[in-house]
Amino acid sequence: MYCLVTKPWEIEAFTASHETKDYRESIFSQGNGYMGVRGYSPNGTKSNNAERTTFISGFFEYIRPGITDMVNQPDFSSSRILINGIDINEMRISDYKQVLNMRNGALLWSYTVTDTEGRRTKVKMTRFLSMANKHTAAIRFEITPENHDGDITIETGIDANVINLPIADNQLSDNIDFVTMWGRAKACSNGIQGGIVAETGISKRVTAMEYYIYIPEAYEAAAEADKKRRYAGSIIRLSGKQGNSYIIDKLISVATYRDGSDPKNIARMQLESCIETGFDGMLAESSKAWERIWELSDVEVDADGELQGAIRYNILQLIQSDPCDDPHASIGARGLMHGRYKGCYFWDTEIFMLPMFLSTNPEAAKNLLLYRYHTLEDAVKSARSFSLSGARYPWMASDTGFEQCETWDTGCCEIHITADITYAISRYIEQTGDKEFLRDYAAEIYIQTARYWAHRFTYDVKNDCYNLLFVKGPDEYCGVTVNNFYTVKMALHNLALALDSVQIMEKEFPKEWEGLKARTQYRPEEAKLWRDITEKAVTYYDEQRELWLQDSLFESLEPIDITAYKDDDVPLYHKISYDRLQRYQVLKQADVLMYMALFPKEFTRNQLLAAWNYYEPKTLHDSTLSFGIHAMLAARLNITDKAWSYFLKSLFLDLKNVMKNTQKEGIHTAALGASWQALIYGFAGVWADSQGISCNPNLPKEIRKMKFKIHYQKALYEVKVEQGRKPNIILLSI
């Protein structure tokens, strides 16, 4: 299925085969953080209207009581091209080329179509979502009759006849039940300009889209309105002459209820700006915005082959899905271009994706964390629904802080997400020095989540200890277990953060502390319980082996010869029942090693090696999160062959369809972030915390040198790492 060429600044495909269509659509996904579009062709055909996906950040709607889905928005790309009355999709295609320009996010389709009479026509289409004005997008159609004079017809508009296909949380279940999210949709068009105002059926949430068609007067084209149910469009007809190129531009604006009380007026004003600027001006402005982004986000490597382009592709896709200036939304597990997991937000964001933004765009990282603050009230209510105190963050979240996961063992028991969020907040404060964030937001989150953990641990009177019962750690194959190492340790870190924040607030922000105490009804005796738990919580350590054990049950599970069952990177749950896997001594992904990756200074080298040698051979890597973390740890341990092998799997996970699911599931955003961490925290050996920036490179022989930038304590640094030389960290600005 791999049909791509990866260049330093471009991803190219040279096939229009049906077998690779879904895969290419995933790979060529586009976004600007506000909205995202799967990489389907504007004039392409789909088997159903759920496969034409356009998503807007933070836009969800209920599909049943309490459960939401990210809403598939009206399709502003919807188009059809006819030459001499024949749809070009019915013609023979040759010279096909599809190019994603990573410098500016523009996507080009270029090919020749030939009808049954031998008449050839060159077709080019370019689409981009503006990074300068995120409410806007544009599509350019360029048609060239190569050996004939002929009639050219372009039908294009905005189509609200789209549907959702909510995907079950169970990865082995395929849903075939389509859901219509849109209630009413009002359409209008005058042939050159038109729009749609659509409203969801339950919550009455509104999206407004407008478009304008620019046609050069010299074409003497005829334009008429094309009005159908839930569709606003235009039909443009012109007479084409052999050898001449005809360019038609479609300019688009988008606004929703999240942007203000009158989305239609907002979209209209944005469209006026588009018309004034034009396609070329819009693309130039977007390109400049991308240039500024790449100036801070690029990681330059001196290496052979496709490595440089793959690194940039991973960074690009993360940026395209990040609502960087929106503190009320986050990044879903499949970004803004696919509806997997109902578009929900997981620990993927805080643990795997946020580190890149923390180093390259701290304000974006802050806004991702503010999303969690703005759902704190819901998290408090959620904890109460579980008969617990404090704040419990959901395993799967949408535009609220209420649980969206519908499987008991995961939704109720994979509770480490709450501590993952506080860990990410602490990393943000460490690296930025933003104590105002602690004062205004973090301290409240720390206190409320500490209360949750204090109630979630169970005190054992007989042994004077605290157990964490019925939990599922990152290794989701372990089943529901007792005292999972990762979850316990992350919870203790959460409690420690709460204890420290109380002291800081008392000493440095006494006025704000009085308000916070009143608001949270904090009692001093709470700190005593938190401290007691941190001292008496149960974890399992084998001193003779210098090995931290995953939980109380892991070594009681049945051993299995992995090589007898797994000979590729396809998840083993496709061959062995998920239930049966939970009783084997195997891991889905890093668990103990995951915690060690997050706290690189907490363990001795012997402990790290003991954990690696014990757990790595038992790990199936059936989660896309796993390869990058193992690459990072292997690099830190100087296990170079393993580090490089795992890194390539993580980096090319989608580009080479490593797990054979990219076509069906879209881009795996957490793997993108894990690849970045393997590169920066592993190979470059960079770590930034309250003690400063350290750099202990472990470059593989395949990478001769690296250069990138990192923000630390309100300053910007450039890091240069080269084989055989000491690393160089240069202060660029304060």
| DSSP per residue, 379-408 | HHHHHHHTT-SS----SSBSSSSS-----H
Place of tokens 């060429």: 5
pLDDT in tens, 241-269: 999 999 999 999 999 999 999 999 999 99
* Residue 1: pLDDT over 70: no
What are the chain's domains?
Answer: 32-297 (2.70.98.40)
Q: Which residue has the higher pLDDT, 219 or 340?
A: 219
Place of tokens 């720390």: 446
Instruction: Please give the torsion angle defined by the CA atoms of residues 136, 140, 184 and 56, in that order, rounded to the nearest 10 degrees.
Output: -40
Query: Quick one: average pLDDT of 193-207?
Result: 97
CA distance 441 to 89: 54
Query: Quick one: average pLDDT of 293-305?
Result: 97
Question: Which band of pLDDT confidence, cut at 50, 70 and 90, is reported for residue 685?
Answer: very high
Query: Quick one: average pLDDT of 169-184?
Result: 80
pLDDT given for residue 579 in this prediction: 84
* Residue 121: pLDDT over 80: yes
* Nearest to 305, CA basis, from 720, 655, 575: 655
The pair phi, psi for residue 159, each rounded to 5°, is: -115, 115
CA distance 415 to 379: 12
Question: Which band of pLDDT confidence, cut at 50, 70 and 90, is reported for residue 136?
Answer: very high
CA distance 642 to 636: 11
pLDDT given for residue 173 in this prediction: 65
Share of the chain above pLDDT 70, in %: 99
β pairing state of 728-733 and 465-467: unpaired
- Which runs of consecutive H residues, i.e. helices, occur in 457-553? 485-508, 510-520, 524-536
Q: How remote is the C-alpha of 34 from its chain's centroid? A: 13
